[in-house]
Chain A
Amino acid sequence: MRKQRFIALLSATALVTGIIVSIPVAANAAPACDGKSPVQTCVGLTSDGAPYMMMVPANFGGTVALYSHGYRYNIDIPAGIPLIGGYKVTNTPEPVPGGNSAVAQYLFSQGIAVVGSGFARQGWNPDSAIATDVELIGVFKAQFPATTKVIAWGSSLGAVITQGLAEKHPELISAAAPMCLADNVPAELTMAGDFLWGLKVLFDPTIKAGNYSAGAAGNAEAYGDLIKVFTVMGKLQASLTTNAWPDTSSPTGKALAAGGVPPRSALLLLGLMAGLPTQSAHFDSISGPAGALKLSFPLAISPALAILENGTNAAALAILATQDVELQAGGAIFDNTKTDYAARIDNERVVFNAALSGNTVIDALLGAISPANPGAPRAVGSAAAIAKMNALHSNSGKINVPTILMTGVADPITPAGASQRVVDAYAEQFAKEKMAAFAAYKSTKTYVAPVNKLLMLWNTTPGKGYTTFDAAGSPITSTPAATGTNHCNFSTAQLLVVAKSLVSTSATGKLPSGGAIVTAGRKAGNLVLDPEFHAPLLKYYNQ
């Protein structure tokens, strides 16, 4: 079949998300396939009840791409809650990122099948999800015995699952691509917990910020926190023009207000101490409107607006993921009794000094959130629950198979530092492999150089700035999020760079390198391979 006709046929079908095949009710039963051409779709349930979908092109060449989807909330969200209200827990299978038909078409055109499950359990689930993926690989191979290679890829929490699969079962896959990789659960929820705790102690002491009750009562507490946090964020947005602290502020917050501390500086400090990026969907911390605010906007205001945007985006996950992991761990998992927030921002207090309103204000804020202030009580976690959380699946960062990482440098939910940790770990691993090769040379007299197994694609923000302003000089926030910002905000072109790299790597055993991948990254837009770029690690690692 000629390629053009093949693609046309695919376009005529309701691809990926539109296909409806009855899923067998019995777990672990053989998949039900529709037998259609050019793409056959099969569905079924794994032994743990995870629904899955396989899509196999007629020209299947033996390689299948296994996709692991990202975090889905583990509880329904009432309709009245802003931004995420109306969400229903779902385990719909997702065999390609976001059901992206262009990506699926590309893979099918290469004779590659796609497969993915919806996992049996939502929320933080790598332990069960890795097992589901392992089983799914077996199911696929049993159904399609011509299978020779498995490519694994995933986004966000799905990237954790993908990396976990590559670490635990490298024998099952030929290449991996964790995209917008989340870090291990203690690091992720420390970031979330620090920010939530800060909002609570300064802006609204009625926010629970963890230690949620079990069952429906805990759900209600989490819903309440979502509403309160979104409300506080709205008030903080308004405060940028009024300089007034939210009326819900704590006595500590009110004392800071009376001392002339701008609320925007307080918000920025919370974001910095948690490790949130200071560039967001619409605020680059670089650009200013023409006129008097040309310099002062990026210097003093934009970083706080970026934290406002990023914090609002991250808040829902912070609350709901904390509640979910607490349920799994059996108690409060956030504990900042020993956290030195001053040390956390040692560098940032200089870089963002103007936006933080100078050392005097910074010191006042740090004093306000210090353990010495009884008005800002630290959160005390349950040792047993923390131990259980720490025992949940975690990735070491060991690279066993050729791996492609791609992440946005200003992702507010899965910070670029999570990928940086893997890059750093692999640098050590590669150095050891080199040493081993030198050692082997002494005895064999033949030097066999280790082969690089990691390609890092940084999705950068537009270098020249991207905040835009209307005629009155107000920032515009209705435009699409800038590249490199927001969570897993990848274009189809960028996803295709990863898909194509995975395909070639799987076929040759070698990662793409040199000018070709550099050019591909540039053409896809803002994908940079700079080996010396260094994203800040999550603050958890600097404690």
Chain B
Amino acid sequence: MKAMNRRKLFSVSAVLAAASLVATAIPANAAEVGVTASEIKLGMTLPMTGTASLGYNKIPGAAKAYFDYLNANGGVNGRKITLIVKDDQYVPTQAVTKTNELILKDKVMALLAPLGTANVKAVASSVNPAKRGVPVLFVNTGFSGFADVKKYPTTYSILPSYIMEAKIMGKYIAENLSGKKVGLLYQDDDFGSDALAGFKAAGTNFTVKVPYASGSQSAATAAGWITKFKAAEVDVVILFGVTSASLYMLATAAALKYSPQWMIDSVGGDSTTLKLAGVPAGVLYNAIGFSPVPATTDLTDEYVKLFSDIYAKAVPGSAFDLNVLLGMNSAFMTAQALKAAGQNPTRKSLMAVLNTKGSTLFNSALSPVGYTGTSHVGLTGEWVGKYSPTGDLLPIGGIYTTYTTDSGAGAVVKSTYKRPAMPAKGLTN
């Protein structure tokens, strides 16, 4: 039994108060998990190997490239950021194991950019970062549910929700492809459920819908999908899945000389990845695509220019693509949030920043994030583009027209958001 009288309590408090005054003057003696006088440790799990890793396995290198750049320029309040990366192979049970390692063994301050709806949900239920108070920053999934603060209080979305994207696709179809027979390929889980909800909200009707179970995508299954679309004689095929699904579909279509009007979702439509994996640029040509961030070939964009320069020096020979840009953007936002979280950032102060100032953080996307105390919705808009003869996604007419909407019944409208100028050298420290 411990007994402590009131006087002693007060004297201890006074000492602690004095100590905290001293502590605010120097970054030493930080008490938060993963934060020392010289370092902030962050952790990331995502598929680095396996079928689903295609393209997404560049995200850690991209984030590290930005953090290394930041560290070389003073870090965050004198602390360098260290990113620990673990391969979950896109298997939810692996994501649970690896996340446990990051939290319990590596003792990271926060989780950054985990990928995949099923993985993030598995971690939420089994590892329980919410109960532990561990921030889960900028999850690489557009599942709308992760914006729910009550259910996932420490999780922050970054991508536009799949519902939003489907609604924007639906609006484009209604305005530009009216009367065409449309087919839909979708991942048969929450990813696809969101898509179906978005298309329903947009009033899009499909001649045929082809679901595929996550992990089942292959050249053989793609041939089966094509058979179904051919049988339905659709004019337009929407690919609403991960990159590997798009890859197998487009590569198999090229081999079978099947060429409908393609429409590809943002997470499965990175042209650099698809081309490197063997999709001919000619197959991509004239396909319709969507993106929340500027075209990765658009060197007139100050973020694309800076980030591609940083990445080229950090990872020579690796192409700058959508996954790289998104990875660096998440690292850039993380650095700002950590800076704003105080001289000695804590998990709580980091999340307080995101809840109160998150929507004002600098960000390369052409729409802001929608963080508030009651919603952790990510980016709120996308622009529509077409793939060029070289297979690059470019804005239609050369002008970014960003559409914004919500994950509910709200209308899809043109965004009036004007992105603030990038801070000098892409640094806010």
Contacts and interface: CB of A to CB of B under 8 A. Distances in A.
Interface of A: 278-279, 284-286, 294-296, 298-300, 303, 347, 350-354, 356-361, 445-449, 451, 463-465, 528, 530, 532, 534, 536
Interface string B81-92: 000000001111
Nearest to A262: B213
A351 B215 contact: no
Interface residues of B, number: 42
A427 to B, nearest CB: 11
B121 A354 contact: no
A352 B2 CA distance: 48
Given A358-B212, A463-B97, A463-B100, A352 B92 contact: yes
Interface of B: 1-6, 9, 49-52, 89-94, 97, 100-101, 104, 117-118, 121-122, 125-126, 128, 131-132, 187-190, 192-193, 211-216
Contacts of B117: 350
A449 B2 contact: yes
B211 A360 contact: yes
Nearest to B189: A353
Contact of A278 (B90, B93, B100, B189): B93
B99 to A, nearest CB: 11
Given A286-B97, A358-B188, 5 more contacts: A286-B91, A353-B118, A353-B213, A448-B2, A530-B104
A298 B91 contact: yes
Contacts of B51: 295-296
Contacts of B3: 446-449
A463 B101 contact: yes
Contacts of A353: 118, 188-190, 213-214
Contacts, number: 112
A532 B213 contact: no
A347 B151 CA distance: 12
Nearest to A352: B92
A532 B132 contact: yes
Contact of A447 (B4, B50, B101, B189): B4
Contacts of B212: 358
B89 A285 contact: no
Contacts of B90: 295, 299
A295 B214 contact: no
B193 A295 contact: no
A464 B9 CA distance: 46
Contacts of A448: 1-3
Contacts of B188: 353, 358-361
B213 A286 contact: no
Given A359-B188, A463-B101, A534 B128 contact: yes
Given A295-B51, A448-B2, A358 B213 contact: yes
A300 B34 CA distance: 35
A172 B132 CA distance: 37
Contact of B213 (A278, A357, A451): A357
A351 B213 contact: no
A294 B52 CA distance: 12
A285 B94 CA distance: 8
9 nearest A-B pairs in the assembled complex, by CB-CB distance: A358-B188, A358-B213, A295-B50, A353-B189, A354-B215, A351-B122, A285-B93, A299-B215, A354-B214
Given A445-B6, A532-B128, A347 B211 contact: no
A358 B192 CA distance: 10
22 contacts: A295-B50, A295-B52, A299-B90, A303-B93, A350-B118, A350-B121, A350-B190, A352-B92, A353-B188, A354-B189, A357-B216, A358-B187, A358-B188, A358-B214, A359-B188, A359-B189, A361-B213, A445-B6, A446-B4, A448-B1, A449-B3, A532-B131
B118 A351 contact: yes
B198 to A, nearest CB: 16
A449 B9 CA distance: 13
Nearest to A532: B132
A358 B189 contact: yes
A356 B50 CA distance: 20
Nearest to A285: B93
Contact of B91 (A295, A350, A445, A447): A295
A294 B92 contact: no
A296 B140 CA distance: 21
Contact of A298 (B1, B93, B122): B93
Contacts of A303: 93
